[in-house]
Structures are given as C-alpha cells and as structure tokens.
Chains A and B, each alone.
Chain A
Amino acid sequence: MSRIDEILNIADHIPPFPKVAMQVMKMLEDPEVHTKDLAETIQYDSAITANLIKTCNAAYFGLSRKISSLDEALVLIGHAALKDIIIASSSARFYKGEAGGGYQLEQGDLWKHSVATAIMAKSISRHFKGVEPGTAFTVGLLHDIGKRFLSSFVASDFKKIMDRTYNDGLSFMEAEHEILGMDHAELGSMILQKWDFPEEMVLAVKLHHDPKALDKDPLTALLALANTLVISLGVGVGADGLSGAMQGEGLKRFKISARDLDQYMMNLLLEMEKAEEMMTLSK
C-alpha cells in the first residue's frame, strides 16, 4: 500500500465523534429542551459526564459555586456554555497520550494548543459577522485533529521533512504535504467531514494555514487568525514552529488592528489560567 493510501485508510477508520455529543448538540437547537432529557442522554457516556462536571468548575465559565453532579451542572450552566463544555468533554479523548508526538509536541501540548485556539477563536468572534461564538470555539478545538492521526507518518519521515524546510525554505506544512502526499489541515478537514460537522467548519480547517485565509469566508479567516496568534505565543507549538506565512492585510476587512491583536494575546493568557480544568482534560 502506498503511503497516501495508508493515510486515507486511516482516515476511513477513524473512530466516530462521540454519538452522545452529536445528540446533545441537536437537542440544544431547541431552546425549550428539558434538562431531564439532556441528563438522560449525557449520562450514557461516562467519560463525557466526568469531563463535563470537571470543566463546569473552570473559572472560565463563571459559575459562582462548585458543581459535583450532572443535574446540578445542567441547571446552572447556560446552553451556550453547555455546548462548549460538551464539545471539549467529547474531544479530549482524541488528544490523549502522545498525540502529536511526530510533530515533537510534548504530551498534552496538542490539547493545550487546541483549547487555547478555541478560547482565542471565541474571543475574537465578535469581529466576524455571522460567526457564532460556539462555532468558533468548536472549530478552534478541532482544527489540528489531523495532527493526531498524521503524527506517526510525520515521525517516520521527520528528517526528510525538516531537510526540506532547512534546505529549500519550505514551510513545515508544505514539506509535510510534499513528502506525505497529505498535510494535517487536509486530513483534519476530511475527518470533520466524516464526523458530519458543518461544511463551513470543514473548509475552515482545510484552509487554516493558507496564507490568504484572512481574505476568505469569515469562519476560515477567524480560525486562521486565532491559530496564528496562539502559535505566536508559543502555546503547544512543535517542530513546525512559526513557519508559514499569513497575509495580515486581510485583517483590515474585519477592522482588527495590531493593538487589538496585542490585547487578545494578553487576554488569552489570563483566560487560559481560568480554564485550567479544561486544559487538563486530555490527561
């Protein structure tokens, strides 16, 4: 089997996104949904339930008292926050252990990078007309899922990839694409498609390293910006470093200035401190 076939084969056999999460997201489309029905659905997945209770207590979600049961959580947490928490609680399972090791990410780094990007995506979402904060959060959390599944392939060809970046000035992802026939953005978008996430998310993940991403549709631009800022801060960054271009010109369309960027970076650090419980979900 050729390498690209091997990769595509893996993409075909990727475990499904937790069913419970998809069901709950659907239920939450109805603003009148009963807490009891939500609880009945969620408790089928014990990992999600445990993660949900833990995550609710992060200062990031601003609850005034400590929660110890699912029922309590569902009564106190608003639906918008609940969506974020469900997605985070369901995604964590894909980022355990050495996820991203091929990119020389330490244990937990890929998850940390993903949560940071989700938080950043949500906080900049007000600049991007028509993008729901919850959608921004979700796409931030899942944008690098391709790394999780491409990691072992990157590991076996690591030297070749690095040589192309040093000797020929390719970005890490360009070299990744050239040598493996596939890059993590492309694979990630295939995975999101398979998991039935909306088309706009599939596209945003696919283009999140495109130098012209800021000129594209709002969700694509938002994700590329959030990821660029988190990478600049060095949060969960591996061998690919800050390599790659991002044409900042497109930011003007969204009325975002360099000063805004500084402010968002500063705020991210403080929000990450408040989201400690979420940061440790992949452990």
Chain B
Amino acid sequence: MKQIVGISDMKIANKPDEELVTYSLGSCIGVALWDPIVKVGALLHYMLPDSNIDKEKAEMKPFMFADTGVPRMFKEIYKLGAVKERMKVYVVGGAQVMDDSGLFNIGKRNQMIIQKMFFKNNVAITKEDVGGTVNRTITLHVGTGQVKLKTSGRGEVDL
C-alpha cells in the first residue's frame, strides 16, 4: 500500500508491504528514516527552515518547518521502536532557481538547517541528493528499506 506524504506532512509505517512517497520536492526537503531491525520507516516533507516566522501556524502544522518537524518525526519513530544509532537517514530536495542575490535561496537554507540539527544531535546522513535545480520524488519501501529517487526529466534510481 502506498501512503502519500503531502507538503508539510509526515507519515510513519511499519507494515512490510507499505510504501511512503512524497512527490515534487523543489526547494522543500524530504527526510526518510528507516530502522533495519524493527523495520519501521518515516517520511517527512518540510517546506521552510524556521518556525519563528509564525509560531501559531507551526502549532497547527509542525511538519511545515524543519525546526519543529524533524524533532517531532524522531519522537514519533522512537515510539515504534526505532533506535537512532541504527537508523538509515536520507535527505533529498533543497533545489532552487538560480539567483545571485540570494533572495530565492530557500533550498539552501532548508539544507543548512538540517545539517546543523543532525550535527548537533549526532545523526549521520546515510545518503543525500540535494541542491541543483531539479524536482525530486522520493519513495521509501518500509519492508526492505529501499529508497528510490525520481528526478525531473530523468528516470527513477536507487538512492
């Protein structure tokens, strides 16, 4: 069964036939977590780095922002038995249009905050595919931990 993760959403699954997918990551970032022992997976699609811009909306939609969404995602996956040290961690997205002024650098800011958060919390990224100007779709197979990445204009590959 396929569960779709929308923009500013996060889903967790632990049935072996389940797939989590998030479509069309532009400057947004998709984070996939998978624990090979308990075979639980989670997928987050956040939009902006920092919830300080609107605390009220962050309450309503915590997965819209990296700083509220990522910790919440880890909390939720721990509840299903996942352990930080053995989890596979994938990060994709963070593209942006070309602009020297830096005003459209949402993709870059989205990348930087997650690197900072992971560094601070000793989380190692297993694989990533970030930046550039492409649109990405990521699928996590919960039973096997296989992660597929589809890039705009190109086909689908294993990440």
Contacts and interface: CB of A to CB of B under 8 A. Distances in A.
Interface in B10-61: 23-28, 47-48, 50, 53-54, 57, 61
A251 interface: yes
A263 B104 CA distance: 13
A242 B26 contact: yes
Contacts of B61: 269
Contacts, number: 117
Given A239-B152, A241-B152, 20 more contacts: A162-B153, A162-B154, A165-B153, A172-B153, A211-B98, A232-B104, A232-B107, A233-B27, A233-B28, A234-B28, A237-B24, A238-B152, A241-B26, A243-B133, A249-B103, A263-B54, A265-B106, A266-B54, A266-B57, A269-B47
A112 to B, nearest CB: 10
Given A104-B152, A265-B47, A246 B99 contact: yes
A241 B95 contact: yes
Interface string B71-102: 00000000000000000000000011111111
A270 interface: yes
A277 interface: no
B57 to A, nearest CB: 6
A242 B96 contact: yes
Q: How large is the interface on A (under 10, 10 to 19, 20 to 34, 35 or more residues)?
A: 35 or more
27 contacts: A162-B153, A211-B98, A228-B104, A232-B27, A233-B7, A233-B27, A233-B28, A234-B23, A234-B26, A238-B135, A240-B152, A241-B152, A241-B153, A244-B133, A246-B98, A247-B99, A247-B101, A248-B101, A248-B104, A249-B101, A251-B103, A261-B104, A262-B50, A262-B53, A266-B47, A266-B54, A269-B7
Contacts of A262: 48, 50, 53, 106
Contact of B53 (A232, A235, A266): A266
B134 interface: yes
A231 interface: yes
A250 B105 CA distance: 15
B130 to A, nearest CB: 13
Contacts of B57: 266, 270
Nearest to B27: A232
Contacts of B103: 248-249, 251, 257-258, 261
A9 to B, nearest CB: 28
A170 to B, nearest CB: 12
Contacts of B48: 262, 265-266
B111 interface: no
Contacts of B26: 231-234, 237, 241-242
Nearest to B154: A162
A228 B97 contact: yes
Contact of B100 (A243, A247, A265): A247
Interface of A: 104, 162, 165, 172, 211, 228, 231-249, 251, 257-259, 261-263, 265-266, 269-270
Contacts of A246: 97-99, 104
Nearest to B93: A234
Contacts of B105: 258
Contact of A241 (B99, B101, B135): B135
Contact of B25 (A162, A234, A240, A251): A234
A259 B50 CA distance: 10
B64 interface: yes
Contact of A261 (B28, B106, B107): B106
A172 B134 CA distance: 11
A231 B98 CA distance: 12
A232 B153 contact: no
B8 interface: yes
Contacts of B101: 247-249, 251
B98 A232 contact: no
A147 to B, nearest CB: 14
A162 to B, nearest CB: 5
Nearest to B28: A234
